[in-house]
Every structure is written in structure tokens, then in C-alpha cells.
Amino acid sequence: MSSVYQELESIRVARYAIGLPCYICGEGNSCEGELCRHCHAPLALAHQAGVQKIRPQMVGVVGPAGSGKTVYLGMLLDLLSRQADDLQLLARGAFSISLQQGVVAHLSRCEFPNKTPSEPDRWNWVHAQIHGQRRKGMELIVPDMSGEALLEEINHPNSCPVVRQFLEKSHGVIMLVDAARLDSGDNEPDFFAMKVLSFLCELHDRSPQRKLDVPVSIVFTKADQCEAAFLDAAKFAEKHTSGLWQLCQQRLTRFQFFAAGVVGACGFTYSRSGKQTVPLRIEPRGIVEPFRWLIQEVGQRR
């Protein structure tokens, strides 16, 4: 009778015994997993954060479905990865390029990208290094968060835990508000922004008597259809979003209004599925300024 000897992979067993904590929610996971089994954030964030000397800062980009979050964030990443001034972006990991790649590909075909799915495991996440000639390097984590998932978490707490856990730990927030809808007399963007702002204050345990110190950059998107927003974003906010304007004065210590646009002109197509907007000319305007202000504010808190 012959005997067979097989060497045990003790190191691998030890790795399985010690769970990998998710960088977003902190729950343990298998070290070989791809997504956190609790909040569905990429475990690559935990792997990369573990080897970085600088702890990554979290920045939330929020807004209702259709406000232009995916297009704005994808265009922002594309501009920052290509320009060579005092604010540059270097992606950490291949998964961090997917959002930029997808947005640029869709716009080059004269179409807008599909809306972000509500399921967190289908979101695009970005882990990047921000650096420049006059600033210290900073690590950032930014997800392309679904507007529908955000609203669901606001209305039904703990229905989408990753939204709550990420925004609770966020060091800064970019809030997108549809300027074109406001200019047409639609008050829904104002109500949504007020909901999000109140939600942020609750997450950071700020009572009405205590102001939130997390910097909030409020961006009026699709401002190419509303020139008044570009001329004076603060005045536009006071006129068209009176509820949000008052809430910012009362609940925030650091906030700024901006206007941004990605397309210079749009057309329309009609099919059985209905009317669809088509971007005819790509002219980024006011994309970097809100992010630049937010990074400066986040850097002061470090």
C-alpha cells in the first residue's frame, strides 16, 4: 500500500480565517471575493486602501435619476485625467476607468449613457489619486450612486445600506440639481435637494441647532439650456430653489453654488419607445470648478 503526501496550504487557510473588512461598511468578507457580501462595494477598495499610506477620502455625488450624475462624473474624470494643470487625476485600478470609458464612448456615438441601475452591485466605483503642483496628494473614492437607490434609502431607511454607510462617512458631497427643469417651473428638483440635504444632516447627527460642517458643492446641471444659471448660480438658486437656499443658510457651514453643462446642443429622435434626447455637440463647461472647490475644502479638514 503506497502513501501519498500533500503539503497543506496553511497560509491560504489562515487568510480565509481572517475576513477582509470592507472599506465602506467594515463588514468581513472572503479575501478572494469581488464585492462585499453586505453592501456590494468592490473589495478592491479594501485591498488598495490597505497598501496606501494616505487614507482615502470619500466624496458622494448625489442627485435624482436623470439629473446627469453619470455624465457629469464621467466627463469630470475624463477632463482631470487629461489636463496638466494644478489638479490631475490618476485612476487606481482598472475598475476605476470603466465609468469614464463608458461615458466617453456613449457621447462619441451621440447618445447619453443608460441610467445607473438601482442595484449597488452594478454601480461603477472610482478610486483615484488627486495631485497637483501646489497641493499634497489625496486619495478619493467616488461611486456613481443611483438616484433611485438614494431616494429609496431616504424614504425607507436601511433598504439600501451602502448609500447610508457611504454618505455617513463622506468627507464632501457634490449635489446635482437639474437647472432646465427648474427654469421650466418644475419644483421637484428643489424638493429632492431639500430631502437629500436633510438626510445628510441626520446621518451626521446634526440637529436643527447644529450646522453640518461637511462641504457641499451644489451644481446646477444642464445649464447649457439655462444661461441664467451660468451668469450667477447663487442668484439662480435663490430665485428657483427657495427651499434649498434657505436650508443651506440654516444647516450648512460650507457650501457653494455652481453651474455646469456637458453638451452644447441637443436634438430629439422619436421611436416606439418615445421621445429621446440626443447630444449633438459636446462642450464641457463648468465641470471642474465645483470639484476643485470641494477638494480644497476637504483638504482643509484633513
pLDDT tens track for 209-267: 688 999 999 999 999 888 999 999 999 999 999 999 999 999 999 999 999 999 888 88
Share of the chain above pLDDT 90, in %: 56
Confidence of residue 290 (pLDDT cuts 50, 70, 90): very high
The answer to whether residue 3 is domain-embedded is no
- pLDDT for 80 equals 92
CA angle 103, 108, 113 (to 5 degrees): 35
- 8 A C-beta contact, residue 142 and residue 61: yes
Tell me how far apart the alpha carbons of residues 98 and 136 are, in angstroms, rounded to a whole number.
26
Closest CA to 57 of 166, 218, 216: 166
Asked if 88 and 208 sit in the same domain, the reply is: yes
- pLDDT for 193 equals 96
Query: Per residue in 157-201, pLDDT tens?
Result: 989 989 999 999 999 999 999 999 999 999 999 999 999 999 999
Its domain, for residue 126, covers 52-301
Asked if 13 and 149 sit in the same domain, the reply is: no
The answer to whether residue 135 is domain-embedded is yes
Asked if 137 and 64 sit in the same domain, the reply is: yes
Which three cell numbers, joined as nine digits, stand for 288?
A: 471642474
- pLDDT for 207 equals 63
**Total tally of structural domains belonging to the chain:** 2
Q: Inform me whether the pLDDT recorded for 55 exceeds 70.
A: yes
Q: Inform me whether the pLDDT recorded for 7 exceeds 60.
A: no
Asked if 36 and 135 sit in the same domain, the reply is: no
Extended strands (E) in 54-207: 57-62, 88-91, 125-132, 135-143, 172-178
Tell me how far apart the alpha carbons of residues 125 and 109 are, in angstroms, rounded to a whole number.
23
